[in-house]
Amino acid sequence: MDMFDLTGRVAVITGGAGLLGRQHAAAIADAGGHAVLADIADDVAQAAGEVARDHDIESIGIRVDITNKDDVETMTRTVIDRFGRIDILINNAALTVKGGGLSAKEYFAPFEEYPLALWQKALDVNLTGMFLCCQSIGTVMAARGSGVILNIASDVGTISPDHRIYEGARNPHTGEPFNTPIAYATTKAAVINFSRYLATYWAGRGIRVNSLSPGGVHAGHDPHFVRNLTRLIPLARMANPTEYQAAVLFLVSDASSYMTGSNLIIDGGRTAW
């Protein structure tokens, strides 16, 4: 089990205050690592405090706009000043209705009416933010000769969303129709190849880069939608929020020391048929 031990290691988790970001942080802390929750949300310090309290290990929260290069550079310096190192980067941040404070009508608009500004914002957060974080923190890792980067993609980065599952379904927060937007699916597909590129680029500098593609996580979804989706999943259910923790720990620890440039899909078998 020593291969999974992260004692003394420092992990930066973007989108750390979100549903899965907090789970990633818990996985790090459980293994003895220091979780740095980086998020644009106002409650990021509170989220980090909960991780520190629940796992009895130092964790911090940093409010950062990952689409802003200066913000990202400041975040990197802050972590280095506090801990003296960065061993792990988990690029988890992504544009969502709730997290982005967006209009559901626009975010879930059909392709023919999808707002250009929202398309651009998704590119900025989901890709440019990842680019900036990898550039800043990866440079630090390369100089030291070691590091692990895990980029969170999605099952819909490998397959197209099945648009039929949204028929008759409503967003539980707004009561409006919803879907998987074109911008989300497109950027998540790009994350996978972005990870492959960096894996080969930095292989000689001691940095491993992989991506993780989760399936849908159950979080109060419309029961009609859940029924439609689970019919497409061999395990016949959506994931629980905690079910990616072990995979994250595997991918950022020495347990996956010979693994780079890979995309690990954990979707209950959805992409198997």
**What is the residue type of 47?**
A
Q: How far apart are CA 73 and CA 71, in angstroms?
A: 6
Q: CB count, 10 Å around CB of 82?
A: 14
- The alpha carbon of residue 212 and the mean position of all alpha carbons in its chain are separated, in whole angstroms, by 8
Lookup result for tokens 């740095």: 36
Q: How far apart are CA 172 and CA 166, in angstroms?
A: 13
* Catalytic (active site) residue 166: no
* In contact, 192 and 221? CB cutoff 8 Å: no
Ordered strands of the 263-266 beta sheet: 60-63, 34-39, 10-14, 88-91, 147-152, 207-214, 263-266
Main-chain phi, psi angles of 11, to 5 degrees: -120, 125
- The continuous run of DSSP H or E covering 172 comes out as none
Marked catalytic residue, from 107, 114, 166, 184: 184
* In contact, 157 and 186? CB cutoff 8 Å: no
Kindly list the catalytic residues. 184
